[in-house]
Structure 1
Amino acid sequence: MQDITQALSRCANAVEAHLERLLPSVSTAEGEVVEAMRYSALGGGKRLRPFLVMESAALFGVDPSRALQAAAALEMVHCYSLVHDDLPAMDDSDLRRGRATVHRKWNDATAILAGDGLLTEAFTVLASPESHPDAQVRLELITELATAAGAKGMVGGQMIDLSPDRAKLDLAGITRLQALKTGALIRYACEAGAILGQAQREERTALRLYAEDLGLAFQIVDDLLDHEATPEETGKPTGVDSDAGKATFVGQLGLEKARVRAEELVVSAKSRLDIFSGKAQLLREIATFVLERRS
């Protein structure tokens, strides 16, 4: 596990430095929202999604600087979603990554604008030739991220999560919800590497299936942590979904069966990578990391 921890740390440091370059402070009137964008995007998080972009791209020999550009764009979208998810109209959270949420540090309006700013800036980043010299590749990166982040992906999942019917979802309903809300960006993270590498169809399919298993395992572990971990471990409030009466994997399966299901999904995810042989070792290790994480 030490190797994957070090690899995650190296990726996080690279992404942090790149985000710092892409989101410089400004001294003009709009500087306050830029600082809120920087606050939400810099200085925290495992950077799991950027790691998946970088490692999936490495399978195809993609220039790391191009992969880093796509990884940073995806992290901007992820951070925007966290800023908006924490708002009073959604989860009403005071804590994120061990510090005050954006709307608590500033106010609701600034948090909304900061999220909007990160989302839109992400597409500027992908549209840059730094992402790829081929405009068609850049267009596919943009199109797929827009789909993953929108009503057919993360936003659609969030709408289901906020629905009054959320408490009544069965296991199939929860699985679909999380495949949209959490899984869509994880799928994009893996497919972005394949897009950058102009991979063969079977290679891209293998990465998509890996990501689907991984994303579901990630959410089941999140549900387990919501029951078993402390806010100090996770860096955010725990027990939120259960206290709100929301249907969860743990609520449907119980703790032990949920844990077993997560383990099965990780085994399945790793098997999807057989097509890449030894080149995908870090992607296999990150699946174990997702299973064993405490935050």
Structure 2
Amino acid sequence: MTEKAAIGFIGVGLMGHGMAKNLVEKGHPLAVLAHRNRAPVEDLVARGAFEAGDIAELAARSEVIFLCLPGSPEVERAVGEILAAGAEGKTVVDCSTANPVSTRALAARMAEAGGALCDAPLSRTPAEAWEGTLDVMAGAPEDLFARLEPILSTFATKVVRVGDVGAGHTMKLVNNFLSLGYGALYAEALAIGARNGIDAATVEAVVGGGRMDCGFFQTFMRHVVHGDKNAHRFALRNAHKDMRYVVGLANESGIASHVSSAVKNSYATAEATGHGEDYLPEIAAIVARLNGIGR
């Protein structure tokens, strides 16, 4: 792997755009795949990236291929095309939130083909992706992690190896269970408060700065109380998907999933009622309406 490895990037959406921008600006030859949203692709091409017509062309130009996709089905399709194009000598870095069972199976297929796959999911938001200050939790053998860490550090200020392949996605699901659990909890707490004369602004004033305050609470409330619709850009459909993975992993591990199933059902309800594309803090308004509040 060269000092400025040739990078391929599949998935230049909300998170991927900023990550890819930092890679190309810090000197890595970058190939990106066409995306349904042309604006990020055109921006990256203007910064010096090459737009590949398909995954085979992208793989041919790349030593390291980053994936930042919605979930395991999309990752499996992309890796399948990389394998079909020839994976020898290639390293796939999956930054998606995916099922660790699938991740480990894909890593085995890549190894059989003479390549490698590791998981390096992300924490924080598109704003930090753009600024190059994401957190990365990587699942990789120590030698591969050592080679990849300088590349990951182009868009992250905190890069932690959490274990071997699959450990990154496991840690990401644990992390997202905690954060999405907060979201479901906040929504129900706000509904209880509203029914009894305590509005969201009052909740923010009391909790803010106290022991129960945190960055997630702050961005959630910037949306709910202050109307900043871009404060917490994470779609409810992705929250539902991530919680399905959490419950699935709990089931596969023989862990009783009382709380995770309840959190999953909150987001399943949000998506089932037509709000999958809304950002996560809208769960507060959805729960309120379902309880006859704020109609």
TM-score scaled by structure 1?
A: 0.29
Could you say which structure has the larger radius of gyration? 2
Higher strand proportion: 2
TM-score scaled by structure 2?
A: 0.29
Higher helix proportion: 1
Return the structure number with greater relative CO, CA threshold 8 A, min gap 6: 1
